[in-house]
Structures are given as structure tokens and as C-alpha cells.
Amino acid sequence: MLFAIETATGRQIHADDGSRYRTYHCPVCKGEVFLRSGQYNASHFAHRHETAKPECELYTPSENQFDSHRKPTHPFTDRDRVAEDNLSISPPDICLEVEDRKSNERGRLPRWNLCIKIPKSPDGRGQITFDCGPGSFKNISLRKLFRNPITYPVDPDTNDFKAVWISADTNPVYREVISERISGLNKNGVTAFIGERGRYKPRARRIVWGHAYYFVWPKSFDLNIPSNLEVLAFENNKDWSCVLSALPESRDETTANWLERVCSINVKNSSTSWSLLYPFLSTYAFDGCIQVPAFGGFIVGCNRIEEVNETKACANFNGERFETLLPCKTKSVVALAYFDTIPNFFELTGNNHISFSFRAPAVQSLAIQPVALVEVESATKGSIRVPLHTVEARKWLEEVRAGRARLNGITLPEAVQGKLAWRSNLIAAWDYTPLNRREDEGQRWLHQVKLARSEVEQIQSVLRLTGDEVLLSFRSFGEHHFLSVDEEGSHAIRLSRRLRNRILWLQREISLVYGDGQPVAGSVSDHDLIQCFFALTPPPSLVGHYQSIHRSVSNSPTRRTIQGID
């Protein structure tokens, strides 16, 4: 406890002003207490062994008894003072602690708690007593707040929170911020919290379209949630209810009016951010751009969209400028879209996509499948279909080249064109044939079709020319280069294990992987979301890894480039 009665004078003394050479007693139980202080622990009064009562720890004097402790008794020295003009301290505020859904018991709703977040101290000097609700006072040494803020659970029924005592040596800027009174949950409406990643969800000061929010309201408040909002309900906490909902990307007047009425905060339009989620792309320019050829289907992540109903995409293609309007009718913050492309390309900037612990029923039926497949038949494994761009596809094509497997077919998006090239030695000219004939039979998925049987047989016959160098290329959807038998040993690139691991890591990072901990949040309702685009830029970390790999391979003494092919 921070306060005690001095036995000799009968005055109430704070621990900072106490002395070890005086005697004190508790203002509640009247038992003897002694002063404790040290290098790391804040000064406080402690009872003798097993003499304290529970109510002793909850004692805090009335508001007017703190005046002498609110003002500094001595100024900071120039050496110790933190530059006040450069300080930026976030005020304390309530936040939502959400239970990890993976740890939930089956058959019950996830739980939530209300917390108060105390900001970190700029210098770690001083102490505060913070009122966290009826009968709950936290005596906090700012040394604990020097590196990170601290979050305490609080009672959701509490009207407001505040620091009831601040020591004299606390930084003046921090003192001013921490002295502010923090309002609790709205008892006559809805309190919104931002649905971002992390354990604690901050209070929302404004609403942005396309974002997810937690809405908390008292059960006594008659709340009618609009029918177009999909919600995930949480278990009630005392007399309070909570749901998670993802707002639509574009402005909806009915939803906007409802938000402004029940939350009493502004609703704002958002900005555009895009991400290519599928298919796997392996062709990079050195500046980090992914070159995307036109083909029949993409899956695009849409973080948020600007404008009310539609937005405009512009690009230059073959010296001409193209513009198109993109309809933006979406259900939630992360959008998956199937859409068709045409031989024109557009450039969309942005590379981030986000997901929340919220699963929309509409997404569960979406099957994410590879769009470029190679099918081979082996005597031991039978018929096998693998993505064309993978190492496994390379392995099976080598089995075909060695005569131990048969090439049965290649499935591609209908707009993708390939090339088969071969030559007998390094100085000979390449012979090549385009691969663009398709079979009309078979079921299509995302405009997928098979190569004509004649082209498949030609690929197999060329692959089995082991004395020739062979290149089978479908650009970003798979490219495989086979050296002749005589050249394989002398020209193979030997990569270190570390470099191979970095290449594999790079491939994993740019592929679409949704594990158990990353549920999809929603889906796009308009299949014509985007007609075409040209390039996307990956995150800087991926670009750095790519550049490092590029330099390592370029400096390899056994590196040899393929020349003579467009």
C-alpha cells in the first residue's frame, strides 16, 4: 500500500515521503506497517507477516488528498529530462481482449474481456495509482512501463477510469497524458473496437468501410443489426454482448446510418489495396515486379477499395493508355475473386492482404486448385497430376525423359501459350514449335483446357531425345530446361543448402497458403471485379531475398544462360 498513518504526528504519509526511522500504522486495520524501498521495487508500506486484511490493499485516500503529490517538488535536471517537444504518448484507453479461437472448447462461443491499456513511460521514472474500477486500484512503478505498455482487465460496468495519484518525479508530459479521464463502454449505444491482428483490439475512433470491427453493447439496449452484415457472436460478459462483423467495401447508406446512430462516430471511405493470391508466380524482374501473362482466371485479394460504388484502373499497353471501371461489390475485408482476363494488361499497386478470425459461409465452397497441371502415368505410381511449376513436376518430366513414365496431358488456362524448343549442341540454332492447340473435350474449371493430344505426344518424343537440350516453357506457369546427357554433369549449377532453403522460402511466401490459423474472411460477390492487369510488386523482404539469390546464381562459375529464344 502507498499510504500509511505516521504514529508520532497522526498525519497520512505517502511512501515516497516516508522514512525507515519512523513508525507507521495502517489506516484501515490500525496494524503496524513498515516502509519498503529498493533499487527496482517502488516504495510502499507493508504489513507484518499475516496481519494484513484484504481491504487494506484496496485503500486509497480521497481525491483532495492527492494534490500535494500531483505537483513536482523538484524539477528535472537537464541530463534527466526527456525532450518534451519530441514526446508522443498515446493516452490510456480501453481495449478488447479476444480469446484465441483455436483454444476454444467445442460447442461454446468465444469469450472476451474489457481491458485498460496504460501507455509506456518515456523515462521509467515515477509511480502512479490507477483506478481500474470499483475496489480495484493498481499501484504501478513506471519502471515497468519504460519499454512496453501494460494492459489490465477491468470491469465492463465501470463508467470511467483514471490515475488517482501521480508521484512528483513523473515526466510532465506523461503526467498530463495519464491524468486524463477515460470513459468506459457506452451504456446507451454501441462501442466499436478495431478488428486487427493481435490479442488486444483498440477502441475505434472512426469507422472505415471494408474493415472488421467488434461491436459491444449492453443487453438492455435494443440493437437491430442490419441484415446485410454477417456477424460472429461472442459469449456474453456479465450484461454485455459482443459480435465481430466485417463491413462491406463500398458505402451502404443503410449500414452507414445505422453505424452513425448507434456508435455516434464518423464513417469514412477507405483506400485501394490489392494483392495477387493465386496462382503461384515464379517469373520476376530484377526490380521485384511479377510479370503476369493474360490467362483465364485469377484469385485476387482485395484489402479495401476507394470510392462509393466503383473505382478506376489505368495502364499503358503497347503505347496506348487504357482505363476501366472496376465494380466493387464485396462482402468483407478480404476478398477472393475469380475473373476473366483479356489480352490487355493493367497495373494495380499494393501487395498486402489481411485475414481475421472470421469465416464467411460463402467462402467455404470455394475450392482453390492449381490452374496449370501436368499429368503423367508411372508403372509404380499410376496416374499422377501435379502443378506444372513445382519441383515435383520437374521430377516426373525427367522420368518421362528417361522413359520410365508416360506423359498423358497438360492442363492450362485457355489463354496461355507455351513453347517447346530443342537443339543438338550449344552452338546450334534452336528448333521450336508453339504450343497453343487445345482439346475441346473435358470439363473446364476457371477456363482450363488441355493441350491437344498431338502436342502432348510431340513434347514426349522431344523429351526422350536425351542427346538434345530441351526447353519446355509456359512462362510464369512453369518452365523446365533439360540439358543433354553429356552436358548435365559439366554445366549443373551447384547451390549451397542455405541458398536452396532461401529459394524454397521465397516460393512458399508468394504462394497462397491458408492454414488452420488463417481462415479466409470473405468473398467478392461480383465475378467481373477486374478485367486485366500487368504487374504486382511483392513485399520488400521478398525482393531482397530474390536479389540475393539472383546475385548468388549470377556469380556462379557454372552458370550458363539460355540464348536464342524469345
- The three-state secondary structure class of 363 is helix
Residue 349: alpha-carbon gap to chain centroid = 18
Helices (H), 388-448: 391-401
Closest C-alpha to 490, from 564, 411, 426, 400:
426
Reading the block at residue 229, the C-alpha cell is: 452484415
Question: Please, what is the average pLDDT of the chain?
Answer: 66
Name the pairing type of β-strands 160-166 and 150-153: unpaired
Q: CA Rg, the chain, in Å?
A: 33
- Grade residue 112 by pLDDT with cuts at 50, 70 and 90: very high
Q: Provide the 10 A C-beta neighbour count for residue 522.
A: 26
207 Cβ contact partners less than 8 Å away, ≥ 6 residues apart: 192, 213, 247, 259, 263, 265, 266, 267, 268
Tens-digit pLDDT profile for residues 289-326: 333 333 333 444 444 433 334 444 443 333 444 444 43
- The three-class DSSP label of residue 378 is strand
Instruction: Give the mean pLDDT of 177-187.
Output: 90
Higher pLDDT, 227 or 524: 227
Instruction: Please give the model's pTM, rounded to 2 decimal places.
Output: 0.42
For residue 461, the model assigns a pLDDT of 92
Triad 34, 36, 41: Cα angle to 5°: 160
State CA 361 to chain mean position distance.
21
Vertex 186, ends 182 and 191: CA angle to 5°?
A: 95
Task: Please give the pLDDT value at position 135.
Answer: 76
CB atoms within 10 A of CB 210: 27
**What beta strand segments (E) does 52-136 contain?**
93-98, 112-118, 127-131
DSSP-derived secondary structure for 534-549: -EE---HHHHHHHHHH
Least confident among 195-204, 377-386, 457-466: 195-204
Go through the chain and tell me how many residues it has: 566
Which pLDDT belongs to residue 105? 55
Contact 53, 29 (CB under 8 A): yes
The set of residues, in sequence order, having a beta carbon less than 8 Å from that of 504 and lying 6+ positions away, is none
Each residue's pLDDT tens digit, 364-377:
333 334 567 899 99
**Environment class of 295 (CB within 10 Å of its CB; exposed 0-12, middle 13-18, buried 19+):** buried
Query: Are the CB atoms for 229 and 209 separated by under 8 Å?
Result: no
What is the per-residue pLDDT across 413-459, written as a single tens digit (0 to 9) for each? 666 778 899 988 766 778 888 887 766 544 444 456 788 889 999 99
Q: Which of 69-78, 83-92, 167-176 has the lowest mean pLDDT?
A: 69-78
pLDDT band at 463 (very low <50, low <70, confident <90, very high): very high
Q: Does residue 184 register a pLDDT over 90?
A: yes
Residue 549 grid cell: 539469390
- Is residue 543 packed enough to be buried (19+ CB in 10 Å), middle (13-18) or exposed (0-12)? middle
pLDDT value, residue 534: 25
User: Integer distance in angstroms from the first to the last C-alpha of the chain?
Assistant: 80
Given this model, what pLDDT does residue 399 score?
A: 92
The residue ranking higher by pLDDT, 342 or 422, is 422
Q: What is the mean pLDDT of residues 90-106?
A: 75
